[in-house]
Amino acid sequence: MLLHMKALLCRKALIIWVCAFVSIASAHAQVASAQAQPNAAPPPAPSQPTMLKAGVEHSETVQPLDPKLMPGRRFDPNAVSLGAPIDEWICIPPWFAGTFEVNNSLVVQFIDYRTRTQLAPNRLEKIYRTFHYGHQLDSNGRVWHLNRCPYRNSIETERTVQYNLIRSSRFLHSGNDSVIETATGPALVVAKDTGVIARSTTIETFGRFESAGNGIRKTTSIKGFSPAGTPEDLIVRIEQATMVEPFAPDPSTANSFARFMAQRQAQRQYQQMQGAKTPQGTQATPYTQATPYVQDARTPQGTQGTPYTQATPYTQGTPAAGVPFIQGSPIQGSPRKGTPMQGSGN
């Protein structure tokens, strides 16, 4: 079963990052072409990228990479410790649950912060990718998605191995109007023959999902940072995903979900007991759910909602290996079966 889960993760990782590599390479080619024009005016300073939701913006800078992850250093993936994976259950809207297929991706914005170049190419790319959300159903008929992080994935090319060390993955918002997911972590390209890091960066992604007909409209913004933590480039794309399979509970996540629901019920009972003990003349605040869908406890300041996700340590197995790096791909979504991970792609 574990080998089957790993195989699914590797296959999904391949789809995500190969498509992303083609996208970012095309964007850089367009920048080079624009700069080659002899009469071209000096490029303006890049404007702020498209915002996915009020209060949701990319970081200006990120923490510099660990010196051990810098280009020129030898990299041993088995020596990297990301910490024990944590299970976080998120209640998601019904339209967001299922398996979806993407066949085209529209690149609507590209910013190169190093050359101060900005393009709005509106270029349609032919791609193929599937992604999945939703793992369990509660007694009230609500769908829950398992977000498990941190994790590592990688993929091999002819001469390199590309590693992604996904250290943060979370849902900023989940409601009837939209779902917003973010992920970030170092991405390394390592030469096979020497084991030396050829390129390293940090990638930060935001994905906004909205219901659209019989599928999902997805807007994704991906920002890449240098090893020093300064911005390098950013790409924004829009995709229409069609549902190809309806939601079905995933048996491999049943134990984790049962633990989560038991902890959640115990928390509610404790809060109700505390309310019953409130001295006369004071007003108790019982445990309530302001929304049927979760907003992570780390929801950006200015938004409201009662978070009811609970992180529980995951101690069974290890994250699968499988995905490359490159700017232009979010790390969002989950494989259809087996150990969930973030990684649907862009």
Torsion of CA 241, 253, 309, 302, to 10 degrees: -20
Cβ contact 320:339 at 8 Å: yes
What pLDDT, on the 0 to 100 scale, is given for residue 102? Answer: 93
For 304, list phi and psi in degrees, rounded to 5.
-130, 160
Q: Decide if 207 is inside a domain.
A: yes
Is 70 contained in some domain?
Answer: no
The amino acid occupying position 87 is D
In a domain, 325, yes or no: yes
Number of domains in the chain: 1
Going 309 to 312 to 316 to 317, the CA torsion angle's sign is positive
pTM score of the predicted model: 0.66
Kindly state the tokens that stand for 176: 């009837």
Half-sphere exposure of residue 185: CA atoms within 13 angstroms, side-chain side: 28
Residue 121 lies in a domain: yes
Residue 147 lies in a domain: yes
Please give the helix or strand (H or E) that residue 25 lies within, else none. Answer: helix 2-35
CA distances from 27 to 20, 148, 201, 237 (A): 11, 32, 18, 12
Whether 208 and 72 have beta carbons less than 8 Å apart is answered as: no
- Burial profile 207-235: b = 16 or more Cβ within 10 angstroms, e = fewer: bbbebeeebbebbbbbbbbbbeeebbbbb
CA angle 315, 321, 323 (to 5 degrees): 130
74 falls within a domain: no
| Residue 63 maps to a domain | no
Mean pLDDT by 10 residues, the chain (346 residues): 44 41 43 41 43 69 93 91 92 96 92 91 85 95 95 85 90 95 94 95 94 92 94 94 96 97 94 75 39 36 36 36 36 45 38
178-206 CB burial, b ≥16 within 10 A, e <16: bbbbbbbbbbbbbeeeeeebeebbbbbbb
Give the pLDDT confidence score for residue 55 in this predicted structure.
59
| pLDDT at res. 279 | 60
pLDDT at residue number 214: 84
Range of the domain at 90: 1-37+86-264+290-346
Given a contact cutoff of 8 angstroms between Cβ atoms, the answer to whether 87 and 148 are in contact is: yes
